Amino acid sequence: MLLQCQNGQVKAINRKGITVGMPALIAAQAPQIPGNWILDGESMGNDLLANGENLHGKPLCERLHLLGKLLPAGLSNIRTVPTYYSTRHKRKTLTLLKKCQAEGVVLKRLDASFLVYTANDQRSVAISLHDTKKHHGNVTIPANHKIPATGTVIEVRYLYAFSESEVVFQPVYLGPRTDIHPDEP
């Protein structure tokens, strides 16, 4: 999810610029960030546009500095992730993360620019609930599966969903459901 603010109006968008649902806690705090901007909420500290300036080509260290200046103090639900620069701090943090069985770490070069890479947009299909037909996100079809025809009932596992947005996060395609007909109530 990307957050976009244009002339004081904040909305959540996907990578194609389509408006998507936004958690209420984020919606309450995002208007406190001044200016026109786009923030990438899933790339761990990559702001993409600040006051009309595209930051894709700037190195990570500069983007982190600009992001720190952009975000006002006191936001509890929109914040940067900690960044560690020295080997000593990185090792200490990694030890702590292992101890608490954290999900993982992200390693980035400070001189790296931001690059969005998509392998094949055609392998993503829209998800809707069987009984509502309302859009609930997209799921990527793995290369070892056939892309299902429009209207096919599929099974998707997902990590979590917010009731406010009704969008599933980190969906994984499991395959078609041949036991359920698309026309069943």
Virtual torsion, Cα 20, 21, 27, 32, nearest 10 deg:
-10
Question: For the segment 38-87, what is each residue's pLDDT rounded down to a tens digit?
Answer: 887 654 444 456 666 777 778 888 888 888 888 888 888 888 778 888 99
Contact 2, 22 (CB under 8 A): no
Most confident of the ranges 12-26, 88-102, 151-165, 166-180: 88-102
Percentage, residues of the chain above pLDDT 90: 11
pLDDT at 121 over 70: no
Give 133 or 168, the one with higher predicted confidence: 168
2 and 72 in a single domain? The answer is: yes
Would you call 32 helix, strand, or coil by DSSP? helix
| Joined tokens for residue 11 | 């909305």
Last residue of a domain, one of 76, 105, 134: 105
Contact 39, 48 (CB under 8 A): yes
pLDDT of 160 = 80
Mean pLDDT of 89-110: 88
* Neighbour tally for 4: CB within 10 Å: 18
The reply to whether 110 falls in a domain is no
pLDDT of 20 = 84
CATH code for position 47: 3.30.470.30
Mean pLDDT of 123-147: 79
130 and 41 in a single domain? The answer is: no
Mean pLDDT of 29-33: 91
Q: What is the domain extent for residue 171?
A: 121-176
The reply to whether 115 falls in a domain is no
63 and 143 in a single domain? The answer is: no
pLDDT at 92 over 90: yes
- The residues, ordered by sequence, that sit 6+ positions from 144 with a Cβ below 8 Å of its Cβ are none
Instruction: Give 3-state DSSP helix, strand, coil % of the chain, rounded to 5.
Output: 20, 25, 55
Round to whole Å and give the CA distance between 37 and 39. Answer: 7
Dump strand ranges (E) for 14-140: 19-20, 37-40, 47-50, 53-54, 124-128, 135-140
pTM of the full predicted structure?
Answer: 0.52
When the pLDDT of each residue in the chain is averaged and rounded to a whole number, the result is: 80
pLDDT at 120 over 60: no
pLDDT at 24 over 60: yes
Round to whole Å and give the CA distance between 43 and 37. Answer: 15
12 and 100 in a single domain? The answer is: yes
pLDDT at 28 over 50: yes
